[in-house]
């Protein structure tokens, strides 16, 4: 009866922990880890869609697209981290000088 509640609460808690990790991160590796956890929470939120028989193939399509695009995005971030380290010898978020607001 409460399967949806268990799945969604787990997704919600994992998402909030990922947000907290991202907020408190000072280096890009931890930011990458928190992003992967956010995508994990998104995957969990897709589970209820699979239980509708007419939506099973659609849900699988959404899952495949999500996995591929998120993996591509994360691989680009990994390449950026390696490039940033080669240029600055540092991977802390303080050395990222472009993008975002000036605090």
The residues binding another protein (CB under 8 A) are 1-10, 12-14, 16-21, 23-27, 29-30, 32-34, 36-37, 39-40, 43-44, 47-48, 50-51, 53, 56-57, 60-61, 63-65, 67-72, 74-76, 78-83, 85-87, 91-92
What are 92's strand-pairing partners?
27
Q: How far is the CB of 45 from another protein (least distance, A)?
A: 10
- Which residue, among 69, 68, 75, 66, has the nearest Cα to 41 in the 3D structure? 66
Q: How far is the CB of 50 from another protein (least distance, A)?
A: 4
Question: Please, where are the H alpha helices in the chain?
Answer: 3-23, 28-45, 47-50, 56-88
Question: Between 19 and 96, whose beta carbon lies closer to another protein?
Answer: 19
Q: How far is the CB of 8 from another protein (least distance, A)?
A: 6
Q: How far is the CB of 16 from another protein (least distance, A)?
A: 7
CA 74 to chain centre: 8
**Residue 28: how many CB atoms within 10 A of its CB?**
21
């Amino acid at each position: 009866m409460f399967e949806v509640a268990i799945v969604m609460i787990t997704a919600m808690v994992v998402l909030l922990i990922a947000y907290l990790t991202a907020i408190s991160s000072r280096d890009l590796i931890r930011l990458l880890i928190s992003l992967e956890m956010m995508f994990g929470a998104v995957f969990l939120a897709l589970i209820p869609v699979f239980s509708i028989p007419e939506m099973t193939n659609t849900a699988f399509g959404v899952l495949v697209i999500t996995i591929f695009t998120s993996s591509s995005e994360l691989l680009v971030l990994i390449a950026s981290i390696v490039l940033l380290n080669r240029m600055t010898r540092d991977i802390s978020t303080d050395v990222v000088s472009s993008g975002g607001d000036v605090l």
